[in-house]
Amino acid sequence: MGSSNPKIGELADKYEPSAIEGKWYQYWLDNKFFRSTPDEREPYTVVIPPPNVTGVLHMGHILNNTIQDVLIRKARMEGKNACWVPGTDHASIATEAKVVKMLRAQGIKKSDIGREKFLEHAWEWKEKYGGIILKQLQTLGASCDWDREAFTMDAERSEQVIDMFIKLYNDGHIYRGLRMINWDPEGKTTVSNEEVIYKEVDSKLYYINYRIAGDGGYVTIATTRPETLLGDTAICVNPEDDRYKHLIGKTAIVPLVNREVPIIGDKYVDTSFGTGCLKVTPAHDMNDYDLGKKHNLEVIDIFNEDATLNENAQIHIGKDRFVVRKEIINDLKEAGCFIAEIPYKNKVGTSERTGAIIEPRLSEQWFIAMKKLCEPALENVLNKNVEFHPASFENMYKSWIDNIQDWNISRQLWWGHRIPAYYLPNGEYVVAKSLEEAFELAKAKDANIKIEDLKQDEDVLDTWASSWLWPMSVFDPEELDYYYPTTTLVTGFDIIFFWVMRMIIAGYFLKDEKPFKHVYFTGMVRDKMRRKMSKSLGNSPDVFKLMEKYGTDGVRYGILSSAAAGNDIIFDTDVPKSDKPEDIEAFNKLDVDSKICEVGRNIANKVWQSYRLIESWEVDENLPNPNKVALEWFEGIFNQELAKIEQNLNDFRISEALTQAYRVFWTEGFCSWFLEMIKPDYDQAAGKSMPIDKETYEFTIDYFERLLNMLHPFMPFITEEFWQRIKPRGEKETICFAPYPKPGAQNPQIVSEAEVIFEAVASIREIRAKKGIKKHDPLKLAVKTDNPDLFTKFAQILQKQNMAGIAEIEFVDDKIAGAASFVVRNHECFIPLEGKIDVEQERKKLEKELERQKRNLNTSSNKLKNEKFVNNAKPEIVNNERKKLADAEAQIKVLEESLASL
């Protein structure tokens, strides 16, 4: 064993992840092993779902990016041209909020410095803090082509975004229109319907009297938003409601502002809600707006951008909407119009980004007409041209498309891609790539216009309107045909609408081609309270502390082994006392109970220990090979399990593949059985292990290397370390390009035969443990069987001290008295104990245990005969007592047989 790689030094006494991870990642970077350029090989392309430029690594990123790394590393080992493109998203709302907060801390208001200066600050912030998450991904072992790092607002991407807008506009898919939109008063921007999170809240239903003009009567309405009555322009009743239909055509007086409004009839009104009368505020309710259009009602907008009241409200001008809600109730009481308030639960829309309560608002916005664009996007998913894993997510995808609405793509922000529309003084507009191009187009509308008369739209595009081009925009035009369509997208199912569907739409619109062949949907990583782990909630453990404690390979293994495609992961941590910030903060300081990662660290440690064991062996080239059956078995089990791993990976069952790899390496293969089968016995006289034959040793090294290659995509650091050690390597060699093992011929017969022998070994070890027979004390095995060849074939394996220590095997026709016995499948096995144990002492021990079990039997039997106990005790307690009774009966039978044999 050995390597000429300078990264290899003396092997430490114990496995320390920190000692190997940094050196190997730097080695990979220094030699540009992750670099990809187009060539004659088959490409395997993955584009990273670009995290927000404001982001930091949490458990969701660990899951998503580890899966991508597994896929890309395996493809690289298969000889494909593996290209994994990293990058970040400019995240308009989140980043602008960060910069505004930073400036506010310096006493600077965004509005005071203007757009140009604000953007200077934003770019400075991005350069200083943005992209930290990509550096953090390197600690995870992410094998991205870092020379390709992209940003959704860099020059190349920005140009493509603007080109896409212009093409969509020129093709008739983009329009500008007056619509009721979701307004975020904190972010001061529109948000799409999909970015509104509805939460059930404890609210109140307020009952208010509106005077009927002319006759002195009143009509009572019920509302959760009394402050909006200042914008009321009608009262609506159901024309089939006998209580109110006589009022249709009359007018009512809006309290406090004394506005006379019509009473109209419409079947839209739910007669069972409140009083059955509806106040209509077209400017501040989606449904009221539709009613207003239908009945040609006046629209009165009473809110400013920050949800304070404007001059149209007439009273409480400049005050916040929720302050006004309280004050207006007092006003109504003083005016004698307030009737009552009752507790009421309702759902309130909140901004996904800021948490602010959404305000419906009428506004001129830019929209993409989606219905026609969606047609190829739906067809090509349903016909499997784009394959979803799991396929069940096709239903969610289809549901989104079936209910698609036009996409509001304008946002009232400064950080982002500015909409390329230019307005003429008369309100007309042109869409162009630059001011100069806009000027040429504008002259066709107004020959006398000057270039300085044109004003560009102040809004920017929705962030998703840039990232939907990501699979195309990250490649240079001359490379696009080679790398596109990409191979696999790995993403969370929560953005199937926001991103996955829109990328498919964009791909077919621009290229008439899918953006990716496969979509692997991960589940959400959640805490025990079933909340998605996120930076804002503070409920993700410190991933760097996890990697420090368990090693990066351990964390990767832990998260992958629990992550069946599409299924959520409940990460096993302590739970914060509440959602209060102080409780979240206290929780973050706790050491998380992350047993999910401990198995991963243990398997890395097992690789370390296996190498140390093999390295310690002395090879004797003159020794014959006594282990042929062991070699034959391991080759068979390796090929059998490798075929399952390959199938699971091809089917995107990554956690199942990893579990299979774990078993063949450790619990059911290499470590647990093979090394035990071939390990040289200990020479007591010489005080050291006996030598091993050359054929067995070389086979072991060969298959240890194959196992390392098999594990490498999952656990890259530990596998590189020992791949470098087991054979001489050159200075620039790496496991990254080692061939991924392919399953060879299977041998189900020897695998099945070995299972019988392993069961026998386990039973013999149990007898040794129970009878106090030492490992080096040889035993005799007598077998009553129809297949003696099976035991003869594995005789040398059974003789091994560390297997069963069987010195002699004989085949018998009858049971052997005084022997310990066990049955494996249909083979009756006996271990004669004469001279191995003190018979009298063993008899006393068995008799004592028999008495104890009889007492247990008697106790359980008496309880179960007691009808009061059976009828009144909890079912699980009664069932447990029945189990105790059955266990005692079984133990008594075994003990009596053992005594009889003595």
Domain ranges of the chain: 1-18+551-563+572-726, 189-360, 751-832, 840-901
How far apart are the C-alpha atoms of 667 and 298, rounded to whole Å?
Answer: 75
- Taking residues 171-199, what's their average pLDDT? 90
* Closest to 192 in 3D by CA, of 49, 417, 402, 351: 351
Q: What pTM did the predictor assign? A: 0.84
User: Where is pLDDT greater, at 901 or 451?
Assistant: 451
Q: Give the number of C-alpha atoms closer than 13 A to the C-alpha of residue 863, restricted to the C-beta side.
A: 17
User: Taking 70 as the threshold, does the pLDDT of residue 579 lie above it?
Assistant: no
Considering the domain 751-832, what is its CATH architecture?
2-Layer Sandwich (3.30)
Would residue 187 be called left, alpha or beta, if left means φ above 0 and alpha means ψ between -120 and 50 degrees?
Answer: alpha
How far apart are the C-alpha atoms of 152 and 416, rounded to whole Å?
Answer: 9
Comparing 65-69, 163-167, 590-594, 778-782, which segment has the lowest mean pLDDT?
590-594
How far apart are the C-alpha atoms of 62 and 854, rounded to whole Å?
Answer: 55
Express each pLDDT in 379-433 by its tens digit.
999 999 999 999 999 999 999 999 999 999 999 999 999 999 999 999 999 999 9
- To the question of domain 840-901 being in CATH 1.10.287, the answer is yes
Express each pLDDT in 6-48 by its tens digit.
567 788 888 899 999 999 999 999 999 999 999 999 999 999 9
User: Taking 90 as the threshold, does the pLDDT of residue 820 lie above it?
Assistant: no
Comparing 120-129, 313-322, 435-444, 888-897, which segment has the lowest mean pLDDT?
888-897
Comparing 106-120, 132-146, 815-829, which segment has the lowest mean pLDDT?
815-829
User: Taking 90 as the threshold, does the pLDDT of residue 155 lie above it?
Assistant: yes
Would you state the torsion angle of the CA atoms of residues 270, 272, 278, 282, taken in this order, to the nearest 10 degrees? -40
Amino acid, single-letter form, for residue 570: I
CATH top-level class of 189-360 = alpha beta
* Closest to 54 in 3D by CA, of 460, 534, 419: 534
User: Where is pLDDT greater, at 834 or 522?
Assistant: 522
User: Taking 50 as the threshold, does the pLDDT of residue 534 lie above it?
Assistant: yes
Our separate counts of H helices and E strands in the chain read 30, 33
First to last CA, the chain: 52
Q: Tell me if 380 sits within 8 A of 508, measured CB to CB.
A: yes
Task: Output the pLDDT for position 411.
Answer: 93
Domain range 1-18+551-563+572-726, its CATH number among 3.40.50.12280, 3.40.1110.10, 1.10.3720.10, 1.10.730.10: 1.10.730.10
Q: Tell me if 754 sits within 8 A of 794, measured CB to CB.
A: yes
Task: Output the pLDDT for position 7.
Answer: 63
How far apart are the C-alpha atoms of 845 and 841, rounded to whole Å?
Answer: 6
Q: Tell me if 556 sits within 8 A of 599, measured CB to CB.
A: no
Task: Output the pLDDT for position 843.
Answer: 80
How far apart are the C-alpha atoms of 71 and 359, rounded to whole Å?
Answer: 44
The share of the chain scoring above pLDDT 70, in percent, equals 94
Task: Output the pLDDT for position 598.
Answer: 87
302-327: burial string, b at 16+ Cβ within 10 Å, e else: bbbeebbbeeebeebeebebeebbee
How far apart are the C-alpha atoms of 458 and 307, rounded to whole Å?
Answer: 20
Which tokens go with 256?
Answer: 């406090």
How far apart are the C-alpha atoms of 868 and 669, rounded to whole Å?
Answer: 52
Q: Is the dihedral of CA 877, 883, 887, 893 positive or negative?
A: positive
Which tokens go with 505?
Answer: 């739409």
**Preceding amide of 485 cis, omega within 30:** yes
> Which residue stretches of 807-874 are H helix?
839-865, 867-872
Would residue 743 be called left, alpha or beta, if left means φ above 0 and alpha means ψ between -120 and 50 degrees?
Answer: beta
Q: Tell me if 454 sits within 8 A of 200, measured CB to CB.
A: no
458-470: burial string, b at 16+ Cβ within 10 Å, e else: ebbbbbbbbbbbb
How far apart are the C-alpha atoms of 288 and 277, rounded to whole Å?
Answer: 13
Amino acid, single-letter form, for residue 242: D
Which tokens go with 213?
Answer: 């003009």
Q: Tell me if 179 sits within 8 A of 366, measured CB to CB.
A: no
Mean pLDDT (the chain, rounded): 91
User: Where is pLDDT greater, at 835 or 622?
Assistant: 622
Please state, as a whole number, how many other Cβ atoms lie within 10 Å of the Cβ of residue 349.
Answer: 20
Domains 1-18+551-563+572-726 and 189-360 share a fold: no
Q: Tell me if 891 sits within 8 A of 846, measured CB to CB.
A: no
Q: Kindly calculate the radius of gyration of the chain based on its CA atoms and give it in whole angstroms.
A: 37
Three-state secondary structure call for residue 201: strand
Which tokens go with 867?
Answer: 């009808």
SS3 sequence, 349-408?
Answer: EEECCCCCECEEEEEEEEEECCHHHHHHHHHHHHCCCCEEECCCHHHHHHHHHHCCCCEE
Residue 57 pLDDT grade (very low, low, confident, very high; cuts 50, 70, 90)? confident
